[in-house]
Structure 1
Amino acid sequence: MNDNLVNTVTTDAFLPKVSVVIPIYNGAADLPELIDCLLAQTYPKQQVEYLLVDNNSSDRTYVLLQQTAESSPLLIRPLSEKQIQSSYAARNTGIRAASGEIIAFTDADCRPQPEWLHALIVPFVNDDVAIVAGEITALPGQSLLEVFAERQETLSQKHTLAHKFCPYGQTANLAIRRQALEKAGLFRPYLTTGGDADICWRIQRENIGRLEFASGAIVQHRHRTTLRELQSQWRRYGRSNRYLHELYGIELMRDITLKECSYRLARWLLKELPRDSFKALAGKASLVDLLNTPIGLFTARARTAGQREAKLPKKATIIENI
């Protein structure tokens, strides 16, 4: 029997029980499409439970979760986390209720593709794999900011997997072996951002297991469409940098100063914009090309502001256990 056939037989036979944990806050509008994506999964339905955790929503999220659980052919378990307003606390609630040996994570506004779960689980056939990260791509978007973010591959795991301190995967598309969580502990429930890096780093730095990337495990996510949403996103990235700096001593991202912004804007106005305008007239450049520099500076300034203003909450040092 050749090696490829052996590998195929091995991975096809490897179908562990999986618990998919999804925190949801005011996600009523996202639920129908999310459930459709879960129904389309190719992983055997009898081997999956979906723990959808409402995090004190003010809309009809929890009612819809209960109704969906009653009528769906999937095993959906609606849960609630009302004590702590944090997606990490909600994930911990799901983990504690989970029965699978592999815990997979995504978010309510994500759209897992049909092969997502199957591709995400395959690397766990190797006993030394504790974490698997799948890829995050953009849902089709037409707005200026969506096209900009798609070109920058803002959400791609390639950025976090290349982190110079230690690689990590984002919880929008991540799976962790339950045994690893039992040893390293759960998410920090009072952390509001950066928890995905923290949990991956703890597992790897304690030599519990290694992280592997599953490029075929794809989750699509919608990019921000307004400047306010974009600013909030990049401020959060800045806060994450600050929190991880205080927890691990990692180097902070370099602040972009007002003087540097002014210089780059002047260069854009005097050099880049005239050049790209001629390209646009020739059909060789788009509006995103014309505005790439100012949008990039906008996000950099938002990240800098988030990093400068953030202060790690005292309770964020708490690590809960199963």
Structure 2
Amino acid sequence: MTSAEVIGQPFVSVVIPVYNDAEGIRMTLESVIDQTYSHEAYEILAVDNNSNDGTRTVIEKYCERYPDLVQLAVEDERQGQSAALNKGIQHAHGSLIAFIDADMTVERTWLEDITKAMSEHDVEYLGCNVNIYIPEGEETYTARYNKISGFPMGEYIKSSHFVGSGCLVVTRNLINEVGPFNGNLDFSFDREFGNRVHAAGFDQHFESDIVMSHPARTSLRSLLSKSIRTGRGKTHLKQRYPERFETRSLSDPRNYLPLHPVRFLSRMMGDNDISMDELIVLYLIGCLSKLVRNLSAVYEQFQSNSSKNG
């Protein structure tokens, strides 16, 4: 038996990047350990990105309990999720590499399902569905907006040729062909990676029936922080790869107008239990998120220009 295949099953390396999230990594490790897939046919690489809380201690306890399954890797030279993911890739032994974010959970058949889907569809880049749920007792307007707007990975892979790194599975062969994530990108590195994979001619498949669960962002601050990262990532990609990432001009007034009310309403129609007052609040949250995202893109462009001129 080799690391490429064990008892007829492809060997899978599960990579979990984490920074200062002791409870999140505990949840994810419990979920990924409790799989129907043979423990001999996969490994779990928890990559600590220089946490300064109790995160590493939690990982070390799982390494002690499951020494043949869970391993700790450390990325303390560069802060950032792309660097942590690449550290996991460096340590991975599997012919398949599955990425999952700390604080996400999966069904017990997750590993069986992803290996089956990749084989049946004959693909080397697979995106999974992400279900946003509201943690018990943390129902807020922000959480509700985040749950409804969600992560439309199916739309992402069709329109932009990528899925988020937290719900992605790739082959070792693909990594060898196109390279790992761009460690110089702090934001939107998963989009750049997926775009590079598509340009290299690899088929990309989205499997809607494989569902991974992610807790909703319950505070407005956390939601807007995500908007800031998205806006900055938009500018990063446009600056570094202008030929690959054409985006609307930052001076276009449409960037700063409120959300189109009819389109917004159509997105909300899937949730029938929304009063008019709630709908107004959710609309305002959406408009604020859009504005912050685009202002962050402008700020990033301004900072870049200042650095060049200074």
Displacement after TM superposition at 1:288 (Å): 2.7
For residues 220-299 of structure 1, what are the structure 2 equivalents within 5 Å? 220-249=213-242, 250-253=245-248, 285=275, 287-299=277-289
Matched ranges for 1:1-322 at <5 A: 15-72=9-66, 75-125=69-119, 128-141=122-135, 142-153=139-150, 155-163=151-159, 166-207=160-201, 209-249=202-242, 250-253=245-248, 285=275, 287-311=277-301
Alignment root-mean-square deviation, CA: 2.9
Shift of 1:121: 2.1
Gap regions ≥5 residues in structure 2: 1-6, 263-272, 305-310
Runs (4+) off by over 3 Å: 253-265, 311-314
Name the amino acid aligned to 2:213.
Answer: Q
Q: Distance in 2 between matches of 1:126 and 1:33?
A: 30
Q: Deviations over 1:195-226 (max 9, x none)?
A: 1111111122122x211111122111112111
Distance verdict in 2 for CA 1:73–1:93, change over 3 Å: closer
Contact 2:131 2:213 (C-alpha < 8 Å) held by counterparts: yes
- 8 A contact 1:24–1:52 mirrored in 2: yes
What amino acid is aligned across from residue 247 of structure 2 in structure 1? L
Structure 1, unmatched stretches of 5+, are: 1-12, 266-270, 273-282, 315-322
Number of aligned residue pairs: give it.
283
Residues 264 and 71 (structure 1 numbering): CA distance in 2 closer, same or farther, change over 3 Å? closer
SS at match of 1:181: helix
Aligned equivalents of 1:76, 1:14: Cα separation in 2:
21
Q: Give the TM-score taking structure 1 as reference length.
A: 0.79
Report the structure number with the largest CA radius of gyration.
Answer: 1
Tell me the distance in 2 between the aligned counterparts of 1:247 and 1:263: 29
For 1:226 and 1:127, how far apart are their aligned partners in 2? 39
TM-score normalized by the length of structure 2: 0.82
C-alpha change, 1:145 and 1:183, in structure 2 (3 Å) is same
Identity across matched positions, percent:
24
